[in-house]
Structures are given as C-alpha cells and as structure tokens.
Amino acid sequence: MQFLELDIDTLKAYQIKNTSRYFFSQSYDYARMAEKNKLKHRILAVIENDTLLAYGIFLYFRHKKIFYRVTAQYGPIMDYTDKELVTFYFKQIKQYFMKQWRVVSVRVNPFLSQRFYEDVTYMGDNQVATDVDAILSDLQFKALNMDMFDDLTLPTQCVYTKSLGDINGKDLLKQFPQKTRYTINKTMKEGVLVREIDIFDTHDAHIFNTINKETELRNGVKTRDIAYFQTMKSVLGKHVHFMVTYIDCPVYLENIEQTIDQLEREQLDLSEKLALGKVNVKKTENKLKELKENTVVWQTKREKTLELQAQEGDMIYLSCASFIESGQDFIYFSSGSMDKFSRFEGPSAMIYTMMLYAIENKFMYFNFYGTSKQFLEMDAADYGVLQFKRSFEGNIEYFMDNYELKRF
C-alpha cells in the first residue's frame, strides 16, 4: 500500500466512477471550494495496484496566529472493516502531520456509524466502530466528545437523513405522517410557490440575504454572507441550488376568485334543482350548507390576502434555503424563514418540492445535515429544528466521535 497526496482531478475521477458514500466535506467540490477560498488543505490517500483504497480532505485551521489544527470533517473515507488498511492509513496520517512543526494537532472524524437508530430510537452499537476506536486509541488519537456545537471547525456527530431508495415521487406524500401531509396540502391551497433564484442577480440575492438576516436576528446564529453563496455557486455550478418560497398575491387572488365563482355556480345549480324537486331534499340542503361554508372560507382568504398585499406588496417571500448535490446525498445545507409569515409553512413546501427533485434525480438520501447529540432533550438548542426534520420521517445517523492527535 502506498500513502500519497492526491490532486483534485484524481479525486473527482474516482468519485464520479465509484458509488461509495461520502459527505460534501469529503468531495472534490469541497476541495475546489477550499482552493477558491485560498484555504490550505491536503487530500491524503492510500493506493494499491492503482486502486484508491482510502482518502481524506484535511483543512488547516489557524491556531494562535502561526500554528494549525488540521481537521478532516466526516472523514477519512475507507472500508473500516479492513483493520490493516485503517491502521496503515492513520499511522501514515500521524507521521505526515507530526513532521510539520506548525501543526499542533490533527483531528479526524471517521465516516462510520457508531450507533444505529430508527428515527430517534436507539437500535444498537456498531462493532466495527468499536474496533476502529481501539486502533485510534493505540495511535494516541483521543476522542474529544465534541462537535460543531462546541467548536465550529468540527462536524456534527449526528445528522438526520431520509432514505429515498425505494420511494417514487407519486408516493412521497404517503410516506409522511398525517400532520405533515395536511401541512403540505395546505401550502398548495394557500398558493405557496417554490422557485430557484439566481444568486448573482441583485434582486434575488437581496431577497435571499434579507430572509437569512431576519433568521439570524431571531435565533442568534450567524449566517453566511451573500459572497460565500456566490462563491459556492461559481465553484459548484449546477450542483448547488438556492431556493425561495413565496406567494404571488395577484396569481393567488385570481385562483381564489375562480374557486369562489365555482362554489357559487355549484350553489346556484343545486338551488335550481332543489326548487324543481329533482334532488333529495336533505342531501341537497346539507351539500348547500357545505358549499356556503366553503365560500365564506375562501372569501375570508381573499380579504386576508388583499390586506397582506396592501401591507407587503404583490410578492410575499416566506423562506429560503440552499441545497447541495453531493454523491448519493442531496443535502439541505442552509435555511432561513420570515417569522411573521410562518403560518404559510414555506419551509414545508420547500422540503417537499426538493425531495421530489432528489427522487427524480436518483439520490439515495435526503440529508437534513447536522443535529445535536442531545436530540431527545427538549431544551437542546436545535430541538425545534429537529422536530421539523422528523416530520418527514427519517433517521438519526450517529457517527464516530471527533478524534484528536496532539503534538504536545
């Protein structure tokens, strides 16, 4: 086995050809992003007989001005059941970085489940992870019991994902609980629309940034600026999508008018038949009552939409999000929403639309990305966000810890 530095084009060729799973932070696109942003990084691999057996993208994070903490997020990638390979790779990593005097530590996050869950219910431990932990311990790598919620340069240990392998678009809605189905159907009736924006267009970028900044003020979590997302688009191209949900008031009002007209025509038709004695009296009266009640509901929608239009303008923007295509995973990368329009459930319409896209484009997983390890605790910082993710029925993926090898 040969340990060596890999270039981005070689990694790209391998990942395009190979079907093994990896997350965005171990993709050739991520390496291209690092290169574009002038972030020091290395792709370190093991090759045997021209076959790539293991690889990891390592970023150099500045520490105390002149030093570095080197980190692989959700990596390295390899067959962790091969103990000889695992031992060889991590020995080589140790030797490689400890030769660099400015590197004070190297941190790895093996891309391997430590525990198995169905939704948030614990199902058992992974013996392979236990074996890998022993190898790392022998090489002086120490489990940190820390992740992104403690240190932003580390990945989250847990992510929430939905497997899409056996689902077709026609049946997707049936996969969700009744409450989620009701919410999604409601967004359709309420005129919520979803569209992809041009992040380089001044107007579109302003909409995206406004929603993100409103979210930042509300929850206290700093969001990335527009320049970051524009760089992402310039590097990733069609592999990244920037989306917004909105209500087009003139279009929605036109749909409301058509609905009211249809309801009133049905009432008139039934009333005429009732007067002529051509229908069952009791059934017809009940149906007329139902039609009148529905008409009142839609008239109320019209009044509220006209009020909203007067206050906010023709286009009401509800939420935004970015999505990344990365190997087998379609990743829900970032999101924001306007709290004052939360009743329209823009994020639910967004997820449903993009999950349909992921299925149509043959992705194996819809990846809601990180969640805290305290996913059963109601006072966890992201508990509410996790409940939203759970409404689409996926599973916790609980990866191995972040491990650190220190120079001192």
Q: Supply the DSSP string of 52-113, one letter for each residue.
A: EEEEEEEEEEEETTTEEEEE-TT--EE-TT-HHHHHHHHHHHHHHHHT-TTEEEEEE--SSE
Asked if 46 contacts 11 with a C-beta cutoff of 8 angstroms, the reply is no
Which residue type occupies 192? V
pLDDT in tens, 257-309: 999 999 999 999 988 888 888 778 888 889 999 999 999 999 999 999 999 99
Q: Give the span between the Cα atoms of 5 and 1, in whole angstroms.
A: 13
Q: Give the span between the Cα atoms of 342 and 131, in whole angstroms.
A: 47
SS3 394: coil
- Give the per-residue pLDDT at 273: 85
- Give the per-residue pLDDT at 372: 87
Dihedral sign of CA atoms 75, 81, 86, 87 in order: positive
SS3 35: helix
- Give the per-residue pLDDT at 60: 98
Q: Give the span between the Cα atoms of 40 and 19, in whole angstroms.
A: 28
Phi-psi region of 73 (alpha: psi -120 to 50; beta: other; left: phi over 0): beta
Q: Give the span between the Cα atoms of 216 and 24, in whole angstroms.
A: 24
* 248: enclosing H helix or E strand: strand 240-248
* Encoded tokens for 260: 């009211």
Q: Give the span between the Cα atoms of 131 and 405, in whole angstroms.
A: 18
- Give the per-residue pLDDT at 285: 86
Asked if 158 contacts 373 with a C-beta cutoff of 8 angstroms, the reply is yes
HSE of 283, CA atoms in CB hemisphere, 13 A: 5
Task: Please state the φ and ψ torsions of residue 348, each to the nearest 5 degrees.
Answer: -65, -40
- pLDDT digit string (tens) for the chain, length 408 residues: 999 999 999 999 999 999 899 999 999 999 999 999 999 999 999 999 999 999 999 999 999 889 999 999 999 999 999 999 999 999 999 999 999 999 999 999 999 999 999 999 999 999 999 999 999 999 999 999 999 988 999 999 999 999 998 899 889 999 999 999 999 999 988 899 999 999 999 999 999 999 999 999 888 778 899 999 999 999 999 999 999 999 999 999 999 999 999 999 999 998 888 888 877 888 888 999 999 999 999 999 999 999 999 999 999 999 999 999 999 999 999 999 999 999 999 999 999 999 999 999 999 999 999 888 887 777 777 788 899 999 999 999 999 999 999 987
* Encoded tokens for 407: 């120079």
Burial 13-41 (b: 16+ CB within 10 A, else e): ebbeeeeeebbbbbbbbbbbbbeeeeeeb
- Give the per-residue pLDDT at 142: 98
Rounded to two decimals, what is the model's pTM?
0.91
Please name which of 70, 82, 91 lies closest in space to residue 132, comparing C-alpha atoms: 82
Q: Give the span between the Cα atoms of 165 and 395, in whole angstroms.
A: 14
Q: Give the span between the Cα atoms of 44 and 61, in whole angstroms.
A: 17
